[in-house]
Structure 1
Amino acid sequence: MTAQTGWKVLSEQKVYETNWLSVHHYECVAPTGHETIYGKVHFKQHAIGVLPVDEDGFTYLVGQDRFCFGAYSWELPEGGGPLGEAPLDAAKRELAEETNLAADHYIPLMENAHFSNSITDEVGYAFLAYGLSPCAGEPDQTEDLAVRRVHVRDVMDMMDKGEITDLFTHVMLLNAYRLANIGKLPEYIANAFLAR
């Protein structure tokens, strides 16, 4: 049963489960004292994202068909990491799986970020990766991926034009831009985001 500060759980029923998530129905009392129902999607993995930036200020976008929206999506490398795995280890694996790249250095972009916290308990972690080199990745058998090398400023423009709809990608880019503005990124990476 989920511990809820200010919420009182009267009953819980697991109504659906896969290897990645479970859906729960609750009868509960809200902090206001009102009896209500609540539904929660519990994730068995962390959301993991990586913003790779090479020495020329380019990043790598991954294209794939996204089931939930029935649409093709261009986004930064991302996926899931088991709850018991260190998020950085999962990020290294995702980067290799989706782009065949390894990185010498990682800078955290977000930690313990809550995605859609009104209906899920999904937690996300993201990293900016640099010092890139080729490596052999082990692709996921369910993913048919395309990879594009695009300058980070052009990716920001794609985001502004609505060509990138993935929110995780938006947040990684915007947080990297913020870090560039406050001097928290290596100079050549900061210049890639800021120079016009």
Structure 2
Amino acid sequence: MPDKSNPNKTANPWTVLSTQPIYQNRWIRVVEHDVLNPAGKPGIYGVVHMQHIATGVLPIDADGCTTLVGQYRFPLGVYSWEIPEGGGALDEDPLEAVQRELAEETGLMARRWHPLLRMHLSNSVTDEVAHCFLAWDLEQGIAEPEETEDLQVRRVPFREAYDMAMRGDITDAMAVASLMKARLLALDGKLPKDVTALILK
């Protein structure tokens, strides 16, 4: 028999009693909520509010290759291969933000763009939103990474990057999701024919 105690299962089951700011810098704002949990018992919930949107781009060149960016990720203590990624102001157009990041990290500019996906990253503790795009019809310029970015740039066939994600050699969420989504869309015939041919090359 269906549970009728809460007919609207998508409603917020948490009750916030009070909220206290804990820490803030240019990138994050941490708050702690005193709450009643879905069972009605008291507890706390810490939330990290991001001060920027996250952006990622999967560039595909005329040879069917993509460009990966490698960098040491301080929070994890590991080196990570990823798609070009960055961020933008909360009120900035994600496409404009990601175009800037692609040029800064790789020197690439793209004439064709396609939105791939919108993601919530680590949604149990943060409200971070990521916007990922597919880019092709590329032109190479000069990279100008930020001083905090010690990057390696690596050009690999799309299939090799996809296989790296499948093996777990790429673990970054935006990179994995973008590679999987692009291949599925290509296989389903839901991308422009020219970029589909490059992805499935």
Q: CA RMSD in A?
A: 1.5
Runs (5+) with no aligned partner, structure 2: 1-10
Rounded to whole Å, the distance in 2 between the matches of 1:168 and 1:80 is 12
Higher-Rg member (1/2) = 2
Q: Does the CA contact (< 8 Å) of 2:60 and 2:199 recur in 1? A: no
Query: How far has the Cα of 1:137 moved from its partner?
Result: 4.2
Amino acid at match of 1:138: E
Rounded to whole Å, the distance in 1 between the matches of 2:79 and 2:172 is 11
Q: Does the CA contact (< 8 Å) of 1:6 and 1:30 recur in 2? A: yes
Matched, 1:141 2:162: no
Q: Which residue of 2 aligns with 1:68?
A: 75
Percent of matched pairs sharing the same residue? 49
Alignment coverage as a number of residue pairs: 191
Rounded to whole Å, the distance in 2 between the matches of 1:8 and 1:66 is 36
Amino acid at match of 2:66: T
Cα distance per residue 1:95-145 (max 9 Å; x no partner): 00111011111100112x211111100011000001111234432110011
Matched, 1:183 2:189: yes
Q: Does the CA contact (< 8 Å) of 2:106 and 2:142 recur in 1? A: no
Which TM-score applies when normalising by structure 2? 0.89
Q: Which residue of 1 aligns with 2:50?
A: 43
Which TM-score applies when normalising by structure 1? 0.92
Q: Which residue of 1 aligns with 2:5?
A: none
Secondary structure, in 3 states, of the residue corresponding to 1:165? Answer: coil
Matched, 1:109 2:110: no
Cα distance per residue 1:135-184 (max 9 Å; x no partner): 34432110011101100001111122221121210000011011101212
Amino acid at match of 2:167: K
Q: Which residue of 2 aligns with 1:10?
A: 17
Rounded to whole Å, the distance in 1 between the matches of 2:198 and 2:163 is 13
Q: Does the CA contact (< 8 Å) of 1:57 and 1:188 recur in 2? A: no
